[in-house]
Chain A
Amino acid sequence: MFELRDKAVADEIVRKLKDARVHLRFMHVCGTHQETLVRHGLDAMLKGCGITVSQGPGCPVCVTTAREIEEAITLARRGYTVASFGDMLQVPGRAASLAQMKTEGCDVRMVYSIEDAVGIAKTHPSKEVVFLAAGFETTAPSTAAVIASSPPKNFSVLSCHRMIPPALEAIMGMGELRIDGFIEPGHVSTIIGLRPYQPISREYHVPQVVAGFEPLDVLMAVWMLVQQVQAKKAIVENEYVRAVKPEGNVKAQAVMRQVFVPGDVAWRGFPVIPKSGLFLKSEYSGFDARLRFADVLAGLAGESFPELVGCRCGAVLRGVCASSECPLFGCQCTPQTPLGPCMVSREGSCRIEYTYQKK
């Protein structure tokens, strides 16, 4: 039986990569790819083949901005119930994280799914329940499906959903880093399919391969990229055929189009990226926490949210700084006392580096 951790196949790919004698830099945008690379030692193995693979802005919790975190904290402080995924609650705001606000008596809930937050709203009809919705195209359809299915009136969403392809374009457009190819995220691609990546390959002549998350998936994606580079090709290929159809999940795309409208939004470490955010359409404005509580959030409008001095999360998210190069990494900033979101999230490059290399 062929397995996706088969050592003989891995050795074969590594031998081919060594023989190729290349000097290349690839980027991926997915916390799970980073975990596969670091946990199984593939990053070091590939370095030995002349290939550097760095994580770009592929961690939804990490790219959420300080402003968005502060919006949620402001609503919690006002007495509303704020629910989100566990990692989002740990991201430091200006003075505290949402989890710390809980110890100060705010009603902050950790949920595994947006449906759990809807459940809280149903059980407590007198409470305003706000779901802090983070995530890329993998998660955004679940928010869209809930909003489209008439949730209770006391439920609303603070949307921090973002899309991956505009971020890839932003990275290529900034030109801060030479990138010879992208390993594209498997489960984002399960939803969006292959087409949204194609303009990027055309415009920037950069090869892209959608990859799964087993060690052999990632190694194979690297080998497919190397073959494209050698053949001077720049196309979108699919390694993760078992979960990604060329057209993606059409049903999920439809409900996203029904509920969301793309808008400009800043990403942590990046300037505003045009049409990269997903905001609720006007017909669903009753469920949009930013509009519903505009008066409460108005105070944040003129404020700026500077990065913590010394924290390199922004540079890490742009792929120009390795986690271990941050002066705070592993000293002041650890998973127990995270100073930046890349150390908070299980999808963050710093947290992954700390977990598998520092233990």
Chain B
Amino acid sequence: MTIDAKTSHAQVDYGDGTARTVNVSLVDVKVGDYVLVHAGFAIQVVERKEAEETIALFKEMLGAAGEA
């Protein structure tokens, strides 16, 4: 990902090898971040830590019920 701070546009790798221009004015990003893109705009920065929180939530939800 490269960012043009003046125009608030970034080149975002969609994970399939294509790079597209995305407006990043709605988020605070730096090169290397993962972003969620909707209609040409990045709407959230997604962090690895939060993906791990999903796993923790699942374990908790399923585990808690098992003990109940």
Q: Give complex CA distance A4, B51 in Å.
A: 10
Check B65 against A242 for contact (C-beta < 8 Å). no
A-B contact count, CB below 8 Å? 88
- Chain A nearest Cβ from B3, distance in angstroms: 15
Check A243 against B36 for contact (C-beta < 8 Å). yes
In chain B, residues 6-65, which have Cβ atoms closer than 8 Å to a Cβ of chain A? Answer: 23, 25-28, 36, 38-41, 43-44, 46-47, 50-51, 53-55, 57-58, 61-62, 65
Size class of the B contact interface (CB-based, 8 Å): 20 to 34
From the candidates A191, A242, A251, name the one contacting B46 in the complex (CB within 8 A): A242
- Binary contact readout A111-136 vs B (1 if CB under 8 angstroms, 0 otherwise): 01111100000000000000000010
With a cutoff of 8 Å between Cβ atoms, the chain B residues found around residue A114 in the complex are 39-40
Check A242 against B41 for contact (C-beta < 8 Å). no
With a cutoff of 8 Å between Cβ atoms, the chain A residues found around residue B27 in the complex are 249, 251
In chain A, residues 185-235, which have Cβ atoms closer than 8 Å to a Cβ of chain B? Answer: 187, 190-191, 212, 216, 220, 223-224, 227
From the candidates A9, A149, A216, A249, name the one contacting B44 in the complex (CB within 8 A): A249
Q: How many of chain A's residues have a CB under 8 angstroms from any CB in B?
A: 38
From the candidates B38, B41, B51, name the one contacting A145 in the complex (CB within 8 A): B41
Check A139 against B38 for contact (C-beta < 8 Å). yes
Residue of B nearest to A12 (CB): B62
- Chain B nearest Cβ from A44, distance in angstroms: 22
Q: Give complex CA distance A116, B26 in Å.
A: 17
Decide yes or no whether A13 CB sits under 8 A from chain B: yes
Residue of B nearest to A214 (CB): B54
With a cutoff of 8 Å between Cβ atoms, the chain A residues found around residue B61 in the complex are 220, 223-224, 227
Check B39 against A216 for contact (C-beta < 8 Å). no
Check A252 against B62 for contact (C-beta < 8 Å). no
Check B38 against A239 for contact (C-beta < 8 Å). no
Contacts A187-B43, A190-B36; is A16 near B57 (CB within 8 Å)? no
- Chain B nearest Cβ from A209, distance in angstroms: 10
Check A145 against B54 for contact (C-beta < 8 Å). no
Check A9 against B62 for contact (C-beta < 8 Å). yes
Q: Give complex CA distance A115, B38 in Å.
A: 12
With a cutoff of 8 Å between Cβ atoms, the chain A residues found around residue B55 in the complex are 2
From the candidates B38, B43, B54, B65, name the one contacting A16 in the complex (CB within 8 A): B65
Decide yes or no whether A241 CB sits under 8 A from chain B: yes
Check B39 against A139 for contact (C-beta < 8 Å). yes
Check A85 against B54 for contact (C-beta < 8 Å). no
Contacts A16-B62, A251-B26; is A141 near B41 (CB within 8 Å)? yes
Decide yes or no whether A355 CB sits under 8 A from chain B: no
Residue of A nearest to B52 (CB): A242
Check A135 against B39 for contact (C-beta < 8 Å). yes
Residue of A nearest to B64 (CB): A227
With a cutoff of 8 Å between Cβ atoms, the chain B residues found around residue A223 in the complex are 61-62, 65
Q: Give complex CA distance A113, B25 in Å.
A: 14
Interface centre among A187, A224, A240, A243 (most CB of B within 10 A): A243
User: A-B pairs with the 9 shortest C-beta distances?
Assistant: A113-B40, A242-B50, A142-B41, A252-B26, A241-B53, A190-B44, A242-B51, A2-B55, A242-B54
Listed A/B pairs (17) with beta-carbon separation below 8 Å: A13-B62, A16-B62, A113-B23, A113-B39, A138-B39, A138-B43, A139-B38, A142-B26, A142-B41, A190-B43, A191-B43, A220-B58, A220-B61, A227-B65, A241-B53, A251-B27, A252-B26
Give chain B's interface residues, CB within 8 Å of chain A. Answer: 23, 25-28, 36, 38-41, 43-44, 46-47, 50-51, 53-55, 57-58, 61-62, 65
Give chain A's interface residues, CB within 8 Å of chain B. Answer: 2, 4, 9, 12-13, 16, 85, 112-116, 135, 138-139, 141-142, 145, 149, 187, 190-191, 212, 216, 220, 223-224, 227, 239-243, 245, 249, 251-252, 255
